[in-house]
Structure formats: structure tokens, C-alpha cells
Amino acid sequence: MTVNRDELRSRLLVFAVVVALTVTGVATAGVVTDQGTTEKPTVEEAHLQPESVDAPVLERGGDISIDAGTGSKTIVIDVAHANDVSVEDLQPAVSALTAAGHTVEYYDLDPDARPEQREEGLTDALEGADAYVVVDPGARYLPSEAELVSEFAEADGRVLFLGGPESDDSGSILGPFGLMGPTMDDDGEFASVTSPFGIGYDTGYLYDMENYETNYRTIGVTPPADSDLTEGVDRVVLDGPTQVLTAGDELLTTNPTVEHSESREADEYAVAARNDNAVAIGDTALMTTENYNVADNEVFIGNVLEFLVSGDAATDDLGDDEADTDADPDRAPAQGE
């Protein structure tokens, strides 16, 4: 059958009109009814309203208390090793110490200082000190510096280590369920000073999908046994802590439902420990204004601060190799002696 040009133009015009009417009908079908235009639906179910969301609220209150009568002591906080800490981070603890009559000093040094300058600087900082606080160092301790810290503890000085997972700056997707999670950014800087104390910080963070506080990373931890450092402490709340490995005593441990961010294994993990004159805690944010008075945190912090000022450090001969030799007659002779 032959179709002339006019008939073809007419058929195309009819086809275009049919298509346009069909598209218009479909587009308006969802909003036009026999009763007119429908109204925007509203959600009236009570359980869907924001005020009905049952978000747990952490118990908060109390102040850090330090038992008086220990005399005035000097606490040195290390900021010379690219430490991940600011004055504000430790302000509640610093305020409690100074209010009790103690002195808090910050040890700082040019990161480009020569090794002998670093050793001399740390020796000067620890001489006359009673306690030394190290928070997440970003620079390795020299072997001579680590030895000085060990000597300080052997001379009855007290040492506190605070370390925990850090935010990942690379923006990679970490953690369970594709959530952004923290990761321990430690290439051995912390181990360089904690290892001589038989203390190690694990990589990764801990979380609990069954028993948690405000979210799966905010978890309650409890003392596994009675000790001076956990007296009066029923429950401490930490935010994504890291595991602390120790040859000494575990002070706080997690529930058995807590999992490790890397192995996904559930277990009771230690997050605070003591080995002789050193205490290690797997959370750098414990003493911040935001967290210090949650649950029994302020009680535990008060106990730790009392531990720091409880020694009677004798540091006059710190770094004196000859004095060390005289003080330890059983020491094995060094090469060449």
C-alpha cells in the first residue's frame, strides 16, 4: 500500500498527540483523584516522632576528689614527643591536682633537638618530679629517653600512660557495617616507652553491639578484682577504647560481648592495667570535660591521680650511670668494663 506524504504527516501527528496524552495521564495519576488533588501525607504514628526515640542518657555528675595529706607533689606532662594531647584534654585532672596543692608542669622540647639535648631535657624535666604522664606520643622515644623513664619509675616515681584509637585522616571506610571508625595510628612510638614496663597497646578499637551506652563504641567496663585504684568504682564508661596488654594487674575489663575491630572476636579485654609504678589506660579521652564525670569515671580518675602523687621519688642521680652502677652491685658489667 502506498502512503503519500500528507497521509504520513497526519499519522505522525496523531501518534505524537497520543503519546503526549499518555505521558500527561501517567504523571497526573498519582496526584489527581475524583475528589481533586491529594494532600501531602503526614506521619502521625507516635513511635515515629523524634521525641519518641529512646536514646540512652549517660548518668553524669560528681567531681574528681584527691585525698589530702600526701604533701605537695610535682606532676610532669610530656608534650615533647608530638603527643596527641592539649591542655584542655586533661583540664579536669589538672584542676583537681592543682586544687589539692600539687604542681603540674609541661615538658616540651624542639622536636629537631639532637639526641644528647633530648636526653638532657628529659633528665632536667624528671629531676625533682614525682610523676610523669605520657599521652599518645607521635614521636619515638630514644632508647636513652626510655631508659630515663624506667629509671624514674625505679626511683619510686609514678608513670601514667594514656593511649587510644585515633581518627583516621585518610577517610577510608573502617569498622563494622561500613561505618567510619577509628584506628590505632601507632608505628611503635608508644611501645618505645611502654615496653620496658611490660605494657603494650593493641591496634584497633573495641565495641559492643549488645551491651552499650549511647552507641556501640561507648561501653561500660568494670574492675575484675578489688584494688586501690578501683576502690569505689562499679562501672567506668569509655569511648571506643583500645586493649591494654600487661604483665601486671588488669584494672578494668570489658564485657565478654565486646568485639575487637580487627579480629571481630568477642572477649573480655583489659582496657586499664598497672605494672609496678606504671598505670596504663586505653582511652585518651577519659579525663576530658565531656567524659570525666560519666558513671564512676571521676572516682577512677581520682584514684589514679592519688596513685600519681603517692610516691616518694628520689631522682637526684637520674641519668647518672656511675650512680646506677654503685646502686646495683649485681648489674652485669657492660662491654669494655
- Identify the residue whose cell numbers are 542518657: 57
Crossing angle, helix 115-126 and helix 143-154, to 10 degrees? 20
Q: Return the minimum-mean-pLDDT range out of 214-218, 234-238, 265-269, 283-287.
A: 214-218
Residue 256 maps to a domain:
yes
Residue 175 maps to a domain:
no
What are the tens digits of pLDDT across the range 23-52?
Answer: 555 454 444 444 555 555 565 555 555 555
Crossing angle, helix 91-99 and helix 297-308, to 10 degrees? 60
Cα–Cα distance measured from residue 81 to residue 323, given in angstroms and rounded to the nearest whole number? 27
What percentage of the chain exceeds 90 in pLDDT? 58
Q: What is the CA radius of gyration of the chain?
A: 31
Cα–Cα distance measured from residue 301 to residue 295, given in angstroms and rounded to the nearest whole number? 12
Domain membership of residue 283 as a residue range: 74-167+187-310
Give the CATH number, domain containing residue 157: 3.40.50
Residue 110 maps to a domain:
yes
What are the tens digits of pLDDT across the range 93-136?
Answer: 999 999 999 999 999 998 789 999 999 999 999 999 999 999 99
**What string of DSSP letters covers 225-287?**
S--GGGTT-S-EEEES---EEESSEEEEE--TT-EETTT--B---EEEEEETTEEEES-TTTT
Residue 31 maps to a domain:
no
What are the tens digits of pLDDT across the range 174-198?
Answer: 333 333 333 444 567 899 999 999 9
pLDDT at 90 over 80: yes
Residue 241 maps to a domain:
yes
Cα dihedral 172, 178, 182, 187 sign: negative
Residue 292 maps to a domain:
yes
Residue 176 maps to a domain:
no
Going by C-alpha positions, the residue among 231, 278, 232, 224 that lies closest to residue 251 is 224
Count of structural domains within the chain: 1
Q: Which residues of 1-26 are buried (b: 16+ CB within 10 A; e: fewer)?
A: eeeeeeeeeeeeeeeeeeeeeeeeee
Residue 178: the pLDDT is 34
pLDDT band at 3 (very low <50, low <70, confident <90, very high): low
Residue 328: the pLDDT is 45
Give yes or no for a contact between 88 and 284, defined as CB atoms under 8 angstroms apart: no
Residue 224 maps to a domain:
yes
Q: Return the minimum-mean-pLDDT range out of 26-30, 80-84, 291-295.
A: 26-30
